[in-house]
Amino acid sequence: MTVLITGANRGIGRALWDRYAARGPVIGTRRAGGRAEGWEDDVRAPESHAALAARLEGQAISLLVCNAGVYPDRGETLDAGYPAPLWAEGFATNVTGVFLTVQSLLANLRAAQGAKIAVISSQMASHTRAPGGSYIYRASKAAALNLGRNLASDLKAEGIAVGIYHPGWVQTDMGGASAEITVDLAADGLMARFDALSLETTGCFETWDGRDHPY
């Protein structure tokens, strides 16, 4: 079983990389300048996806974890904030980056029996939980949730299960020191969710600790 994790150089991605490395083969990707073990791959760039796919030609991928993400609009104000370049950055990474990652590695997923895709979204993707603010992050994570649900429909017939997950409010650079749970707790919980993912549960939107999250 080979696992590939995007954004594996820090935070939740790094914790997942460490744990899967103890189990068996794992590939971690990162932007340039990140952790030494990770392969350079900018999820925003089509040419980067093409290079990764060429490098992995013929390699079966049993679990693809689409973890790379950004929160570009922290602290923006409704009256004068949220400039267009921030929207472009957020969607290029959190949405298009997920789609291009899956698309470029479809052959690798198809080569593995019972492959799985895990999309790291957020509780902030939920339309029933809408306290306002963080418009770019919320909208992009909602789009990632929608993307994962539709991928689940399209790939079920091929035996590939797709799950979408809220990792918790985690003590990382993105989540901040006052967040609710540690990186270790989030990573352990997410791995349990990935292990449990099946064609029967494909399309699920779950929390790190196994609860169904409202859409």
Reduced 3-state DSSP string for 16-74? HHHHHHHHCCEEEEECCCCCCCCEECCCCCHHHHHHHHHHCCCCCCCEEEECCCCCCCC
Q: What is the pLDDT along the chain (215 residues), one digit of tens a residue?
A: 899 999 998 888 999 999 999 999 999 998 765 554 567 789 999 999 999 999 999 999 999 999 999 999 999 999 999 999 999 999 999 999 999 999 999 999 999 999 999 999 998 888 888 888 999 999 999 999 999 999 999 999 999 999 999 987 766 666 566 657 788 889 999 999 999 999 999 999 999 999 999 88
**Distance from C-alpha of 57 to C-alpha of 201, rounded to nearest angstrom:** 29
- For the full predicted model, state whether its pTM sits above 0.85: yes
**Distance from C-alpha of 116 to C-alpha of 161, rounded to nearest angstrom:** 5
**Distance from C-alpha of 195 to C-alpha of 209, rounded to nearest angstrom:** 13
Give the pLDDT of residue 172.
63
Query: Which CATH superfamily includes the segment(s) 3-207?
Result: NAD(P)-binding Rossmann-like Domain (3.40.50.720)
Under a CB-based contact definition with an 8 Å cutoff, are residues 183 and 11 in contact?
Answer: yes
Sign of CA dihedral 163, 166, 171, 176: positive
**Distance from C-alpha of 45 to C-alpha of 143, rounded to nearest angstrom:** 19
Give the pLDDT of residue 124.
86
**Distance from C-alpha of 127 to C-alpha of 183, rounded to nearest angstrom:** 26
Which of 122, 124, 125 is CA-nearest to residue 143? 125
**Distance from C-alpha of 136 to C-alpha of 140, rounded to nearest angstrom:** 6
Give the pLDDT of residue 36.
46
Q: Is 154 helix (H, G, I), strand (E, B) or coil?
A: helix
Q: How far is CA 202 from CA 75, 111, 190, 205, in A?
A: 35, 19, 15, 9
Which of 134, 115, 117, 118 is CA-nearest to residue 126? 134
Give the pLDDT of residue 130.
82
Q: How far is CA 12 from the centre of its chain?
A: 10
Give the pLDDT of residue 210.
92
